[in-house]
Amino acid sequence: MTIYAVGDIQGCYAELQLLLEQIRFDPGKDRLWLVGDLVNRGPGSLQVLRLIKSLGDSAITVLGNHDLHLLAVAEGTAELHRSDTLDEVLAAPDRDELLDWLRRQRLMHMEGEYVLVHAGLLPQWSIKQAASLAREVESALRSDDYATFLSRMYGNTPHNWDDGLDGYKRLRVITNAFTRLRICTLQGEMEFKFKGEVANIPDGYVPWFDVPERKSRKATVIFGHWSALGLKVTPNIVALDTGCLWGGPMTAIRLEDRRLFQVSCDNPVAKHW
């Protein structure tokens, strides 16, 4: 079985199709690992959801912040933003089926030496603890009362982890770490406004993966979310958001030998804003 991890798609369906052709993806013998943000900003979110859902067990996706935003908008607990491109999904005849499938996806996937998440892991979290915390949010999303969780997940506080947190504050911190984290203090205090390049990180903060002695450092964490960071492959991180939405390539990596595959975006959304 060959596993290909793919960076943020964000509705860039045409580029995803080209990338799958380039890697000669065969769902009968290959697997796709997707870092989340399947939808939004690009023009083909509906087609992306239909495709990934149709692949069944041949594709594993974790949830990103844009995926959660779609679920919240659909439940009426969040409003569409000017730059959103979710109307086609919301009006689709198979909308309910697609959204029910989406909310049952995971926040974190582990296999062998690899961990797949959308944004990052707090430095205090071991892999075992992170997996347990991910399941808490997954359970909330899969429950009959999932709309209540969606209505309470937004907010930047608390901005650091505490084992004593409970209720929706606890779920909010977990969700923010898995789907929004880029930088934090050495103590794990998260900051959410920064989206730029590493050279411009505010004083007192570092990329989450550069915190010394972070407890997840023995695993190889595959993630996206940070387009300004771009492609970064080291022994223990694989960052795959190369900004296809903004005119960069869409990237896949074959895990067995870390060979990279990329397709260009010839019609970036940024040109139309």
Q: What is the CATH number of the domain that holds 73?
A: 3.60.21.10
> Total domain count for the chain?
1
Could you give the C-alpha distances from 129 to 136, 239, 253, 259, in angstroms and in order?
11, 22, 27, 31
Q: Which residues pair with 2 in a beta bridge?
A: 30
Domain that residue 71 falls in? 2-272
Retrieve residue 159's tokens: 């901005």
How many Å apart are CA 57 and CA 87, to the nearest integer? 27
Side-chain-side CA neighbours of residue 89 (13 Å): 31
Q: What is the per-residue pLDDT for 245?
A: 87
Q: Is 145 exposed, middle or buried (0-12, 13-18, 19+ CB in 10 A)?
A: exposed
With a CB cutoff of 8 Å and minimum separation 6, the contacts of 48 are: 9, 11, 12, 13, 16, 38, 39, 42
Q: What is the per-residue pLDDT for 145?
A: 96
Token look-up 């209720």 returns 167
- Between CA 237 and CA 246, with CA 240 as vertex, the angle to 5 degrees is 145
With both helix axes pointing from N to C terminus, report the angle between 95-103 and 65-74 in degrees, rounded to the nearest 10: 130
The string of DSSP codes covering 42-96 is SS-HHHHHHHHHHTGGGEEEB--HHHHHHHHHHTTSS---TT---HHHHT-TTHH
How many Å apart are CA 108 and CA 177, to the nearest integer? 11
CB 240 within 8 A of CB 260: no
Retrieve residue 175's tokens: 């969700």
> 16-73 pLDDT, tens per residue?
999 999 999 999 999 999 999 999 999 999 999 999 999 999 999 999 999 999 999 9
- Going residue by residue through the chain (273 aa), what tens digit of pLDDT does each one get? 999 999 999 999 999 999 999 999 999 999 999 999 999 999 999 999 999 999 999 999 999 999 999 999 999 999 999 999 999 999 999 999 999 999 999 999 999 999 999 999 999 999 999 999 999 999 999 999 999 999 999 999 999 999 999 999 999 999 999 999 999 999 999 999 999 999 999 999 999 999 999 999 999 999 999 999 999 999 999 999 999 988 899 999 999 999 999 999 865 554 323
With a CB cutoff of 8 Å and minimum separation 6, the contacts of 85 are: 11, 40, 41, 42, 43, 45
pTM: 0.96
Q: What is the per-residue pLDDT for 108?
A: 98
Retrieve residue 11's tokens: 């509705």
Retrieve residue 232's tokens: 């970064």
